Amino acid sequence: MKGFMATLAATVGLLFSGIVSSKITEPVTVKGNAFFVGDKRFYIRGVDYQPGGSSNLADPLSNITVCKRDITYMKDLGLNTIRVYLDTSDNSANHDECMDLLSEAGIYLILDVNTPRFSISRDFPVASYNEVYLQHVFATVDVFSKYTNTLGFFAANEVINAANSTRAAAVVKALIRDMRKYISKHSDRPIPVGYSAADVAENRREMAHYLNCGPDSARSDFFAFNDYSWCGPSSFVQSGWDKKVENYTGYSIPLFLSEFGCIDVKPRTFNEVKALYSTQMTGVFSGGLVYEFTQEPNNYGLVQIDSDNVTTLADYDSLKRQYSSTNNPPGDGGYQKNLPPSDCPERTSLWEASNTLPDLPSAASIYMDNGAGKPKGTNGASSQFVPQNRKDYNLPGESGAPAPSSSASADESDQGAAAEGMAGLAVGGLWMGVVAGLGAIAGTMLLF
């Protein structure tokens, strides 16, 4: 009985805080090439958040001890957004309390929908785009779309990481199309869906335009890329950010940095913050996310966590100083409302993605039509073992694509900073070309 009363009290408390917080963060919307909250331009001032890193996977948004501990510091830093990666979110867990606390702190979430067990394979993209995978993605969308402070979803992260994985972009784009359609059918508000690209110069621009071309139903709501080119004191010109602004001028959807914060020179001074929120950039960019909140073996952290004790590091102090002394530009920061979508990049030997997208797999249409049903969390069957049932591994316009075999293995070669921390990990198995991933992935693969 005592237990029952406690549960009841907790439930009432949660309901109440849910009601209160829904008023606190008004949803972020997309207008032209920018984000808005109501009539006010919204710039992402965020961090990437994956406490525990690669060796200790846990969902930080379902652990109230963890999120309470960390939100205090996020607020102190002056953040308005966090990004939680693929690996760490369990779609069957309860996220109400942490999402409410974030909301009360004025912090939005951008969530990666993929996990090591549910993700797009860059080597076998068609096989990985199956009904088990889509159930996971749609169920994750259901869970997080009810929070007003869900800013958006990353449909995928760094799938295209080299010149030889560009054909997989067709599946990424199909997934964005499917998620947007699912949201329009099953969510009571539009929630932006986009992609986070690796810091790879040779095809980043093609990917940006590819995801923003063709019919409206298949275009991304935003685009982001990871960027480690501003190192040390540097400058707008020396870092090459001036060229990026030039290159993306005229790009019609919101653009931001999904990871930044080079560590070649430590401690970091984060001088780039001044540039990022200045009118030199805000006509084209909408802010970014610093990699990363907690100190992990790859050394990008702002805070050190020992058990539950938090120690702020020198980088934390610099970032806090930069944020608090950097205002957003006045007015709308020079955003543009009616830019035309991009032209589709031509298919060449360097850009192999077809402009004809694969259809939603027929076995997944039941989820599209009726809803995804219950989230299966981290324990459901992995989507990575479905392809045995499939007959065709070709994308539209292709023939002779290789089928995955259980002995296939490849190496997880990421360009992102996060990958540095996992170099040397021995991984193997069916999907190793897989995912996207940041450090955590390889760690989890070892569990297979």
Ligand X SMILES: *[C@@H]1O[C@H](CO)[C@@H](O)[C@H](O)[C@H]1NC(C)=O
Footprint of ligand X (CB under 6 A):
63, 65-66, 123, 162, 164-165, 201, 205, 240, 243-244, 247, 306-309, 410-411, 433
E strand or H helix at 5, and its extent?
A: helix 2-21
How many Å apart are CA 47 and CA 84, to the nearest integer?
Answer: 9
User: Min. distance of Cβ 393 from ligand X in angstroms?
Assistant: 12
Annotated active-site residue 259? The verdict is yes
User: Min. distance of Cβ 176 from ligand X in angstroms?
Assistant: 21
212, amino acid identity: N
Catalytic-role residue among 158, 206, 352, 412 = 158
User: Min. distance of Cβ 63 from ligand X in angstroms?
Assistant: 4
User: Min. distance of Cβ 121 from ligand X in angstroms?
Assistant: 9
**Residue 131: strand, helix, or coil:** helix
Annotated active-site residue 97? The verdict is no
User: Min. distance of Cβ 243 from ligand X in angstroms?
Assistant: 4
Using alpha carbons, select from 217, 219, 197, 162 the residue that is nearest to residue 351.
Answer: 162
Backbone phi, psi, residue 110, to 5°: -115, 125
Cα torsion 144, 145, 148, 154: sign:
positive
**Residue 412: strand, helix, or coil:** coil
Catalytic-role residue among 97, 131, 206, 259 = 259
User: Min. distance of Cβ 88 from ligand X in angstroms?
Assistant: 12
Which tokens sit at 273?
């913050």
Backbone phi, psi, residue 104, to 5°: -60, -30
Give the nearer residue to ligand X in terms of CB position, either 20 or 201: 201
How many Å apart are CA 53 and CA 300, to the nearest integer?
Answer: 11
Q: Residues 43, 314, 417, CA angle at the centre, nearest 5°?
A: 65
Q: Where are the beta strands (DSSP E) in 28-132?
A: 28-31, 34-37, 40-42, 44-49, 81-84, 108-112
User: Min. distance of Cβ 446 from ligand X in angstroms?
Assistant: 19
Cα torsion 295, 237, 206, 28: sign:
positive
Give the nearer residue to ligand X in terms of CB position, either 240 or 329: 240
Which tokens sit at 342?
């991009």
How many Å apart are CA 318 and CA 77, to the nearest integer?
Answer: 10
Cβ pair 244, 274 in contact under 8 A: no
CA 111 to chain CA centroid, Å, is 5
Cβ pair 246, 279 in contact under 8 A: no
Peptide bond into 97 cis (omega under 30): no
Catalytic residues, by residue number, are 158, 259
